[in-house]
Amino acid sequence: MFIKEQSDIPPFESRVWLASPTMHGEELKYMTEAYETNWMSTVGANINEVEKVAAEKAEAKYAVALSCCTAALHLCVKLAGERLYGKPDVGHGAVEGKRVFCSDMTFDATLNPVVYEGGIPVFIDTERDTWNMDPIALEKAFEIYPEVKLVVVAHLYGFPGKLDELRAVCEKHGALMIEDAAESMGATYKGHQTGSFGDYAAISYNGNKIISGSSGGCLLTNIIEDANKARKWSTQARENAAWYQHEEVGYNYRMSNVIAGVVRGQYPHLEEHIAQKKEVWVRYKEGLEGLPVSMNAFEEDKSTPNYWMSAMLINTNAMCRQVRDDTKAIYVPEHGKSCPTEILEAIASINAEGRPIWKPMHMQPIYRMNGFVTREGNGRARSNSYIAGVTLDVGADIFARGLCLPSDNKMTAEQVDRIIEVIRRCFE
């Protein structure tokens, strides 16, 4: 065993983050306006403006400003469930006992709202062209579970999935589609914004997203009745009465007017942030040429990503031996080869933040017994490890060989180049 030399590459004086907020000044103006006018609650001009701009940017008719994207996804599932199955009895979820098809390679916030509403997630494998839900596997899933009427699709790291194909499969089987566009705000597919293809959609203003409110999100819909219903649910489902009257379960999900001030000040900088993220991604791509690696996959003739997260995939024949359990990873260094664990350790040694690719949901302890469908039919990952020659499903394979690189839009060319040099040393 040997250790590859990195000691002559100096660490950054200040931490280089995976993705962090970028403030511009207008945010403070709108926050101060909320303070000075005393509109510090969940109503106010900032919220009204965020809903207006969010709908326009996402090519939706209506946006509902909420406390976080997960809240938006929850209300999307609730709206879709009631539309499909009717209003449930008190104490029962909108998709109680129903299977729901969900993206497999994503953060668990994409599908937790399905569980909140009593649903049973069934995970659809990933395809290699975009690292998103595989339309062929989705079609196979409908053959296995023809009763399913709801699909939740996420766009990984700001790179759109095959939306026309996914939408066509949903329409063929009479299913509604929810878009989790938390990571893909500003990305387009065939010239149209992600979030505009689903029956419902959710976007995020979390602290690490392409624009940030520190928290917050929006639900997107083209149905005014659903927008009004979501607003009502988000304010504890209060009825229109002089006193507090309640006829259904509600939630404390409304966005604060102060947070909305931050989001309002961020929106004019969305395209600027996307351009900066793209510059980082392109510099990685060009700087890593000649190595046995590739960057995030997308359909260049159809998609324009927002490049929120620069991610890298190591070629199969360039992987050293790596094994992971549920919390730790070990590897054996090899000349000319590397693995995500080695590269992430090397990046961390110079005070920069990287991260493994999202671990697929069907491999998570909480969901290992849930259904999982590949394009070949019912499937299951063989292991959480990577050993050359072992055939894994697509999501497990990308997880085994992939990693997220520091992708902050404030990174300098010198910082990106230093990280590239660290990665190159790992393959020596």
What does the pLDDT average to over 107-116? 97
Cβ-based neighbours of 236, under 8 Å, separated by 6 or more: 246, 250, 251, 252
pLDDT tier for residue 381 given thresholds of 50, 70 and 90:
very low
Condensed to tens digits (0 to 9), the pLDDT of residues 215-271 reads 999 999 999 999 999 999 999 999 999 999 999 999 999 999 999 999 999 999 999
Condensed to tens digits (0 to 9), the pLDDT of residues 312-362 reads 999 999 999 999 999 999 999 999 999 999 999 999 999 999 999 999 999
169 has a pLDDT exceeding 90: yes
383 has a pLDDT exceeding 70: no
Other CB atoms within 10 Å distance of the CB of residue 245? 10
Report d(CA 260, CA 235) in Å as an integer.
16
pLDDT tier for residue 384 given thresholds of 50, 70 and 90:
very low
pLDDT of residue 370: 96
305 has a pLDDT exceeding 80: yes
pLDDT of residue 182: 98
Cβ-based neighbours of 56, under 8 Å, separated by 6 or more: none
The boundaries of every CATH 3.40.640.10 domain in the chain are: 26-269
Report d(CA 58, CA 215) in Å as an integer.
18
Other CB atoms within 10 Å distance of the CB of residue 7? 7
Condensed to tens digits (0 to 9), the pLDDT of residues 5-62 reads 666 899 999 999 999 999 999 999 999 999 999 999 999 999 999 999 999 999 999 9
164 has a pLDDT exceeding 90: yes
The boundaries of every CATH 3.90.1150.10 domain in the chain are: 270-426
pLDDT of residue 379: 72
pLDDT of residue 389: 46
pLDDT of residue 5: 65
Condensed to tens digits (0 to 9), the pLDDT of residues 387-404 reads 444 557 999 999 999 999
pLDDT of residue 8: 85
pLDDT of residue 378: 84
pLDDT of residue 35: 97
What does the pLDDT average to over 271-275? 98
pLDDT of residue 316: 96
Q: Which CATH superfamily, name and number, covers 270-426?
A: Aspartate Aminotransferase, domain 1 (3.90.1150.10)
What does the pLDDT average to over 279-306? 98
pLDDT of residue 1: 40
Condensed to tens digits (0 to 9), the pLDDT of residues 114-134 reads 999 999 999 999 999 999 999
Which positions are annotated as active-site residues? 209
Place of tokens 């509902």: 64
Domain 26-269 belongs to what topology? Aspartate Aminotransferase; domain 2 (3.40.640)
- Max distance between CA atoms of the chain, in angstroms, equals 75
Percentage of residues of the chain with pLDDT beyond 90: 94
* pTM greater than 0.85: yes
407 has a pLDDT exceeding 60: yes
pLDDT of residue 3: 57
Average pLDDT over the chain, rounded to whole? 95
